[in-house]
Amino acid sequence: MAYLDTSIVLPYYSPEKLSGRVENIILNDADPAISTLTAVEVASALSRKIREKSISSENAEMIWEQFTFHRKNDYYRILPVGIHHYSLAAEYILQFKTSLRTLDALHLAVASDSSLPVVTCDKQLHQAAKKLHLPCTLVK
C-alpha cells in the first residue's frame, strides 16, 4: 500500500504524459491510499484545465464523476486530514531545509502519520520528502 498524491491520481483520469505509468502503479497497488485533500486538489486541477482550455467542462465533469465513483466504492483508502496533520505539516515546513508547499506538506503529514510511502510525479515534493527522510517514490 502506498499514499498517492494528486500528481499521481489526476493522470489516471485525465490523459497526460505519464498516464500509462500511473495506471500501472494504481492498478498494481492492492490498497492505494489518498486523503480527503486529494478531492479538493483534483477539483482545482480540473477547474484549471478548463480555464486553460486543455479540457472541456463536459470532460471535466466525466472525470469528476469517475473519480467520485471510485472514492465512494472503496477504490481508494481515504485518509482524513486531521488537526494533528496541520501541526506535522508545519513542523516539516519549519525545518527550513525544503521549499515545501503547504498542501504538499499536508500530503506528507497524512502519509507519514499512516506509515505509508508517498508516490508522486511532483519533483519538488519528492525532493522535500527525501530531505525530511520520508519514503517517497518519484514517477517520471
Domain map (residue ranges) of the chain: 3-138
Cβ atoms within 10 Å of 62's Cβ, excluding its own? 14
Cα(21)–Cα(9) distance, rounded to whole angstroms? Answer: 11
Amino acid 81: pLDDT: 98
pLDDT in tens, 50-103: 999 999 999 999 999 999 999 999 999 999 999 999 999 999 999 999 999 999
Looking at domain 3-138, its CATH superfamily turns out to be: 5'-nuclease (3.40.50.1010)
pTM for the predicted model, two decimal places: 0.94
> Among 91, 88, 96, which Cα is nearest to 113's?
88
Which CA distances in Å does 124 have to 11, 18, 47, 59, 101? 18, 17, 22, 29, 9
pLDDT band at residue 45 using 50, 70 and 90 as cut-offs? very high
